[in-house]
Amino acid sequence: MSGTLISPSILAADFANLQSQVELINSSNADYLHIDIMDGVFVPNISFGFPVAEAIHRHSTKPLDFHLMIQRPEVYLSECKNAGAEIISVHYEGCHHLHRVIQQIKDLGCKAGVVLNPHTPVSTIIDIIEDIDVLLLMSVNPGFGGQKFIEHTLKKTAEARAMIDNFNPKVLLEIDGGVNIKNAASLVEHGANMLVAGNSVFGSADPVATISELKAL
């Protein structure tokens, strides 16, 4: 995988035509397919469960990038693995024993990611940065698609990039929320190398071309 990694969010797809939407991503040069799992407790919304995720996995030729917006994510890690997860990212704010959860994800053979909400400073994960594979910064408040990008994310992205470069350069710096063609270039300039795109891809007249445009940044 080269250039900026793109992980389209299936949450923004047409769920009445889910198989064809997954096949559309298969035909693109996206690097991952982003799977948002919400529980209605950690975030004020419910997305879909593991039977749907498993159905997506059956049709997807892209590796799956799971984002768990749930309380007690450690309970569901095996379900993620069984549903095809290559990456499992959990929220700093939703884990009482984050280091243990990271190790559990790695024990399953998956890449371990940590997610920070917009209000959570990058410095909170300084003690575990060497243990993770992905740092995902939320650029909207989690729970709903289609929200407006929070501009402060650019400064936070630069801070995260500096920390990653200093302590664990292999970590992927992923941004999720309101990412589109207008702000993606700035995110990459500030240090992001993986972008989640939902409405900007699935709401596009030509999703495949939009993914290519994002990936070229």
**Residue 147: its pLDDT value, please?**
76
Per-residue pLDDT at 16? 95
Residue 205 to residue 202: CA distance in whole angstroms: 8
Strand 111-116 and strand 85-91: the pairing is parallel
Identify the weakest region by mean pLDDT among 13-22, 45-54, 68-77: 45-54
| Domains by residue range for the chain, with CATH | 5-215 (3.20.20.70)
Task: Just list the catalytic residues.
Answer: 36, 176
Residue 1: predicted pLDDT: 42
Angle of the 18-26 helix axis to the 207-215 helix axis, nearest 10: 40
pLDDT digit string (tens) for 147-165? 789 999 999 999 999 999 9
Mean pLDDT computed over 28-46: 93
This prediction has a pTM of 0.95
Q: Quick one: how far is CA 128 from the chain centroid?
A: 19
Give residue 217's pLDDT.
87
120-142 pLDDT per residue, tens: 999 999 999 999 999 999 999 88
Chain length of the chain: 217
Q: Give the pLDDT confidence score for residue 44 in this predicted structure.
A: 84
Distinct helix (H) and strand (E) counts, the chain: 8, 8
